[in-house]
Structure 1
Amino acid sequence: MTTIKASCPCCGDVELTPKQVRLVVCTVKSRSFYAFDCPTCKDEVRKAAGEDVVALLVSGGVKVERWIIPGEALEDKTGPAISWDDVLDFALVLDSVEDLAAVAGGRSHRMV
């Protein structure tokens, strides 16, 4: 059986089996990572996984989980942050309208 050597920040070098390693490959390469529960201290250890690390872990028998980040999550956010007052105002609008789509589209709406 393949043995994978990794390091825990608390315990130092540890040996793992492929089943003990979680490999997540993301559509944004800088977000790919591998993780494992340290067999000694039981803490979860998570580290970045570049292309070379991914190739090495896959060749060692670690299964790949694919992670697709939606485009909306990568968009630049502009404008002021949403405040608690904005959230409360939105909740009041949700309670007061029959047709939320009409309100969102800018058409006149009828209050309940």
Structure 2
Amino acid sequence: MTTIKASCPTCGDVELTPPQVRLVVCTVSAWSFYAFGCPGCSDEVRKHASDDVVRLLTTGGVPAEHWSVPAEALEEHSGSTISWDDVLDFTLALETTDVVAAAAASVLRPRHVG
């Protein structure tokens, strides 16, 4: 079986087998990573997986999990961020929606002509 050499920040160099390594390949290559539980200290170690690392790990028998980033996460946003006050104001505004819906319903209700 293939031996994979990696490094743990606490224990230093460690040897792993393909089933001990999790490889996540993302549509945004900067977000791809590999992770493993250190056999020495049991900490989970997560590191960026460049295209070369992905190629090496998959060649070594590590199955790749593919992750597609939703388009919304990649959109550029402008303007100020939402504050807790904004959330509270929105919540309070939602409490008045029943009044608005009732008023709209009375206007839209068909009238019977006798």
User: Residues of 2 paired with 1:27 and 1:65: CA distance?
Assistant: 11
Cα shift readout 1:88-110 (whole Å, capped 9, x = no counterpart): 11112233324xxxxxxxxxx42
**Higher radius of gyration, 1 or 2:** 2
1:74 maps to which residue? Answer: 74
Question: 1:33-72 maps to which residues of 2 (within 5 A)?
Answer: 33-72=33-72
Give unmatched runs, 5+ long, in structure 2: 104-114
1:102 maps to which residue? Answer: none
User: Residues of 2 paired with 1:58 and 1:14: CA distance?
Assistant: 18
- Is the Cα–Cα contact under 8 Å of residues 34 and 47 in structure 1 kept in the other structure? yes
Task: Tell me the CA shift for residue 111 of structure 1.
Answer: 5.5
Q: CA RMSD in A?
A: 1.8
1:106 maps to which residue? Answer: none
User: Residues of 2 paired with 1:94 and 1:20: CA distance?
Assistant: 49
2:101 maps to which residue? Answer: 110
User: Residues of 1 paired with 2:7 and 2:101: CA distance?
Assistant: 62
Cα shift readout 1:38-67 (whole Å, capped 9, x = no counterpart): 111111111111111101100111111111
Give unmatched runs, 5+ long, in structure 1: 99-108
The 4+ residue runs of structure 1 with deviation greater than 2 A are 93-96, 109-112
User: Residues of 2 paired with 1:92 and 1:78: CA distance?
Assistant: 25
User: Residues of 1 paired with 2:73 and 2:48: CA distance?
Assistant: 20
TM-score computed with the length of structure 2 as normaliser: 0.83
1:87 maps to which residue? Answer: 87
Identity score, percent: 66
More displaced stretch, 87-96 vs 72-81: 87-96
Count of matched residue positions in the alignment of Structure 1 and Structure 2: 103
User: Residues of 1 paired with 2:77 and 2:91: CA distance?
Assistant: 22
Q: Secondary structure at the match of 2:86?
A: helix
User: Residues of 1 paired with 2:50 and 2:41: CA distance?
Assistant: 26
